[in-house]
Structures are given as structure tokens and as C-alpha cells.
Amino acid sequence: MTKNPTPIRELFVSGDVACAEGAISAGCRFFAGYPITPATEIAERMSERLPQVGGVYIQMEDELASMNAVLGASWAGVKAMTATSGPGFSLMMENLGLGAMLETPCVLVNIQRAGPSTGLPTLVAQQDMMQARWGSHGDYEIIALSPSSPQEIFDFTILAFDLSEKYRVPVLVMSDEAVGHMSEKVVIPPIPAESLYQRRRPKVAPEKYLPYKPDTDLVPPMAVAGEGYHFHVTGLTHDERGYPVMTAEAQDNLVRRLVDKIRLNSKAIIKYQETQVEDADIVVCAYGITTRIARFAVQMARDEGIRAGLLQLITVWPFAEERIRELSSQAKAFVVPEINYGQIVLEVERCVGGRAETIPVPHMGGDVHSPETILSAIREAAK
Amino acid sequence: MINTLNVEAESIEKYLRLDRLPHIFCSGCGIGPAMGCFLRAIDHAQIDPDKVAVISGIGCSGRVAGYIKLDSFHTTHGRAIPFATGLKLANPELNVVVFSGDGDLIAIGGNHLIHAARRNITMTVICINNFNYGMTGGQVGPTSSLEARTTTTPYGNFEPPFNLPYLVSASGATYVARWTVLHIRQLQKSIAEAMNKPGFSFIEVISPCPVVYGRLNKKPQGLDDMRYYQEKSVIRNDADPKDADIELNGPIVVGKFVDIERPTLGERLNKVVEKAKEKTKV
């Protein structure tokens, strides 16, 4: 009998802990953060786990510093992450922009709580979904994933690292307090290093290396500090050499590529999961914790003879535009429950383009929807 | 004499991105000479240039990273130190130097500065202090002297400034020096010492800003400030940093004020890793 050196592990843990375990499995070896409810348990778990695997945990003076330290660590060649919630997420926006501009692989987890401002620190919301997309100034594209269970936050954190390394972009795990604080079984499979994506390194000699000369997929290979490349990077608009160039032409070249490297690769990036969508008249489009209540509501509707289906957005950004457009020629209505006053529903409505009805099911936060609330929206749509 | 100068020029040129010259610094500005001291210090301190990382924030001094042909990072306003913290912790082999200005490091980045000093993370911070926000046209800052004229203190500055050596030494820095850009030899030596010293090192470089701060405070030429430094600076190594306040047109105490030993963040972190690994052994 062959001995399996890394057997499958099963844990009964919270989403926050599962997130930290996902990061460790993904090869994350640097965490910088600042305590904040309801994301603190991620930092706590990382402070215990990282030194065990030779990594570094550091608690910074604020979230501005945390995000910067993560970028610095990534430029030293180490997979790095931070985790926060609303108020800290706002502070991180400044250097999320720097991360997008310098094309720095890293992962930022937001365990969402209700706002605005200090809001409801201990209670659930999904109110930062548009901030995730547009929160830092300027034009850029970002990748954001939304898990609905501790298992998914484990899996999606690994996926987040893979995507960030592949596309050289900060990737957001947009979770929420309910997922972060619920405990469920999490299966941790052995993850061989070769199955994880590592950023592409330059293949040319240092004197020929251009830090922002992209490959055909629009992503440039990345050198890291200390290897003799003597590269320069800047948050200013720059050319392929990484040098600042203050012209409309340089701006066009750079921003177009920063956006297009995500948009043109969106087919490979976007993931969603469908349940009973094939014949659905009513498509419930949900993400994060709301997926679970929506799934329940869809089943209740089916029991009443309504042909309802569920589209779970795994990747929220870039948006699953094409799939929703396809479904809009088949479905009569889209029902969009989310724990905010209507954010992602605006995207659904845009993609549906008037071919079907789009019905928001807003919920202000503090707790999750009741299945009945979603069910009555489905019933209304089916009339 | 000419030969000597050529040798000096050559020793700097290999560290410069010559294709980025001319630089943006105004005539009479002190940032260039300070940058020269830094580059010569790398040679003199026999530091492997491949392992040097230069991190700057925003402002005139923040542009320094862009002219240096080493791994160099031009980051966001005030955030050079936390960015450098991530670099250093993730790769302790790097010799990390933050080169930035007083507005960047002391105002918007002030919190990061004191915490880096408290942690005693091994890095060298070179802070050009020209007493104002030069790049945006000469506004008041947390280093501007009382009564100084700036574009936002038309009646004279009414806020007392920070004494930088006092601030960073109280926060825990293990190497603290201050020089003016007139003190080229001493500054270069200090930078070399700091780069070879474990722990948090801070070097304040008093620098002219003739085009804005100088013009508004009766020193419109770079040489006016150099003359002032020559007449009013007093070298007092080991001076108590609390006695190093600078008043408008007053004396400037310069020298190496602090050079002490204290466990570094890296050393303490290594012990944490040992403990954690010990604990997981069955």
C-alpha cells in the first residue's frame, strides 16, 4: 500500500478560518492586516498558521499600511493577502488602485458587514459590491469572487490566488459576515504545488527586460526585487519600460491594456453555477450567502409548479454578461435578491436589456432574506 | 582634481537611468546632491546593488526612485514605508531604502514612520526636509518653521513643526542622523553606515527649495541656503535629539544623534517561526 503523505483533511470551521486555510493551501506566505469585525478571525488564524509554514504575519498600523505591505511582499515574489471589512475596505481602496496600476498579484478578502460608515459591525450585508468594482479612482478592471459557504471560501481563495498570479491583478474575495462566521465541514484536499498558477517570470536578460511589455494575453511577465533586473515601477502613467509618460497616448495604451487584459480574457475568468436553469422562466440571480436562500426559494417555487432556476455568480467581477444575455432570450424574468438596496441588479438589468423583466429583491442588511421574500418575488414574476 | 571628479561621476552613472535625464529638480534644489550621496554610499559601503530596493512616495523627493537604476518603486503618497515593510519582511536579504520627502514621510505618512521605528524593522529612511510641499507649489507642512511664509500661510505659519530626530528616536529608531546638503561627506558616510546597520535608520537631510520656500522666505537662490547652512549649522554628534529644534533662520544642529543596538523585527520574527515550528512537531 502506498502511503499518502498529505491525506484529505476535514475540518469543522468557520468561513473565516476556511479562508485562511485556503490561503495557506494556495501558497500564501505573507499576511498583513488590521483587526476588524467580522474578518478578524482570518488574521488570527493566519498569525498562527503562517509561522508554522515559514511565512510572515504582520499586524500593521492601519488598512492603508496593510494593503501596501501586501503589495511590497508580492514584489518580493511572495504570495500575499489581507482581509478586512467595510471601513477597512474603504481605506484599502487607495492602494488597491496602486496594485491595479503596478499589476501586482495579491488577494484582498472583504467579509462584508452592513454600512455605511461603522454600520452594523457584527451583522451581514452585501453592500460593497459596487465599491469592489469601482472603489479606487480611475479606470481599471478587477476580479471579484463571492463564496456562499465555508467550503466555497476555501476553494475560491485558492482560485483568487491563481487568478491574481495569472492576470497580475488584485483579486477580491467578496464574502460576508454570515459565511465568515458560520461553521460547516470543510474538506481540504492535498493541493500539489504544480497545480497552482505561478506568475510568469521574464525570459529575457535583465538589460533587455521591459517590465510592462505584455505577452499576447496582455499580461506582462513579472520580475521581482533582488534578482538583478533593476526595474522601475510607478503609480504614474507609464510606458513599457515602466517610466512615467505624461501624455494622452501613454494613458490610452496603458489603461486600455489594464482593462482589456481582464475584459478580453473574461471567458476564461468568469465562473457561475446553474441549478434548474435549462427550462427556467424565472431565473434567480444570486451570489454569496444569498445564493443559499435563493436555492431554497427556487425549490419552493418548483414545488408550486413555477419553472424557476438559480444562477449563482461565482465571479461577480468581471460580470457574467454573456450568459445573462443568453438567458434573457429564454427567461421571462430575472429575480435578483441581494443584501443591499440594489447593486448587482443594475448589472443584470443592463445585460437583460429589456428582453425580460428584472426584479430587485433588496434587503438592507443585519440579517439575510427569508426564503418567502424571494419566493413571493418569483410568484409575482411568474404571474 | 579633474580626474577625481570623473571617477566620482562614473561611480554614480552606473546607478542612474541616464535615459530619464534631465531630471525634474529645480535649479538650486538639494535633492540631487542627496541622491548623489546615496549612490556613492552604495559603492563605499560595498553593498550588492542587486539587493538594494529603493522605495519612494509622492512629491519632488518621491521622484528619486525613478532616476535610480536599481529595483525601484514609486508608490502612493505617504505609503513608501509600509510598501518597503512588505518587501523587507518577504525577502529579508533585500537592503531596503526609503527615499522621500518631509510632506510624504512626516505628514500623510507620519503614522507609518513611527510604527516602522517602533518595530525596528531593518531599513534606511532618507528624508529630504525642505520644509514645505515643493511639488504642489510651496504649501505649509508639518516641518515648516513657525512664522515661515508659504502659499497657504500668507500671514506666517501658526503651527509648530515636528523635530524629526526627536520624533523618530522617541519612536524607537536605532540610528538617527541629520545633515544638510552642504555636509556631503558626512551625509554619504551616514547613509553607508545606516545601510549596513540592522534596525531602523533615519537620516534627515536639510535641503534648499529656492524656487518656492526660499523665494517666500528671503532665500531665493540655492546658494542663499548653502550660505545659511555654512553659517548656522553646528555639528554636535551624540546631541540629545530633543535639543535639535529648527527655528526659522536659526541654528541647525547636525550630526549623528543615535547609534544604538536593539533587537530588530526580523530577529524577533525568526524566533516566532522557531516557536511555531517547535509547537507543530509531534
Residue A39 lies in a domain: yes
How far apart (Å, rounded) are the C-alpha atoms in residues A106 and A160? 8
Residue A30 lies in a domain: yes
Instruction: Among A161, A191, A221, give the residue marking a domain's end.
Output: A191
Q: Per-residue pLDDT for A311 more than 50?
A: yes
Residues A80 and A179 in one domain: yes
Is A98 near chain B, with CB under 8 Å?
yes
Residue A230 lies in a domain: no
pLDDT of residue B9: 63
The cell 461553521 sits on which residue? A183
The cell 475584459 sits on which residue? A263
- Continuous segment of H or E residues that includes residue A267: helix A266-269
Q: State the cell numbers at A336.
A: 435578483
Instruction: Among A191, A212, A240, give the residue marking a domain's end.
Output: A191
pLDDT of residue B1: 41
Q: Per-residue pLDDT for B10 more than 70?
A: no
pLDDT of residue B45: 85
Task: Report the greatest alpha carbon distance in chain B.
Answer: 72
- DSSP letters for A277-334: -TT-SEEEEE-TTHHHHHHHHHHHHHHTT--EEEEEESEEES--HHHHHHHHTT-SEE
Domain assignment of residue A21, given as a range: 9-191
Residue A263 lies in a domain: no
pLDDT of residue B23: 94
Cβ within 8 Å, pair A235-B279: no
What is the total count of domains within chain A?
2
Residue A225 lies in a domain: no
Distance from CA of B230 to the nearest CA of A (A): 36
B242 secondary structure, DSSP code: G
Instruction: Among A191, A206, A234, give the residue marking a domain's end.
Output: A191
Cβ within 8 Å, pair B66-A95: no
Domains and their CATH numbers in chain B: 2-280 (3.40.50.970)
Helices B2-13 and B31-44: crossing angle in degrees, nearest 10, is: 90
Cα–Cα distances (Å) from B227 to A28, B182, B249, in that order, read 54, 9, 11
Yes or no: say if A81 and A49 are a contact pair by the CB < 8 Å rule.
Answer: no
Cα–Cα distances (Å) from B190 to A72, A86, B193, in that order, read 26, 44, 5
The cell 478592471 sits on which residue? A141
Cβ within 8 Å, pair A29-B65: no
The dihedrals phi and psi of A73, each to the nearest 5 degrees, come to -60, -40
pLDDT digits (tens, 9 = 90+) for A318-339: 999 999 999 999 999 999 999 9
Domain of residue A367, CATH code? 3.40.50.920
Question: Please, what is the average pLDDT of chain A?
Answer: 97
Q: Which residues of B touch A105 (CB under 8 A)?
A: none
Residues A149 and A282 in one domain: no
pLDDT digits (tens, 9 = 90+) for A243-276: 999 999 999 999 999 999 999 999 999 999 999 9
R_g over Cα of chain B: 19
Residue A35 lies in a domain: yes
Amino acid of residue B98: V
Residue A139 lies in a domain: yes
Domain of residue A173, CATH code? 3.40.50.970
pLDDT of residue B44: 86
- The residues in A 128-167 lying below 8 A from B, measured between CB atoms, are none
pLDDT of residue A158: 98
Q: Per-residue pLDDT for B281 more than 80?
A: no
Instruction: Give first-to-last CA distance, chain B, whole Å.
Output: 68
ipTM of predicted assembly, 2 dp: 0.96
Least confident of B9-13, B47-51, B123-127, B147-151: B9-13
Q: Per-residue pLDDT for A179 more than 50?
A: yes
Cβ within 8 Å, pair A51-B84: no
Residue A138 lies in a domain: yes
The dihedrals phi and psi of A55, each to the nearest 5 degrees, come to -95, -175
Interface test with A, best of B55, B89, B275 (most A CBs within 10 A): B89
pLDDT digits (tens, 9 = 90+) for B219-274: 999 999 999 999 999 999 999 999 999 999 999 999 999 999 999 999 999 999 99
pLDDT of residue B280: 84
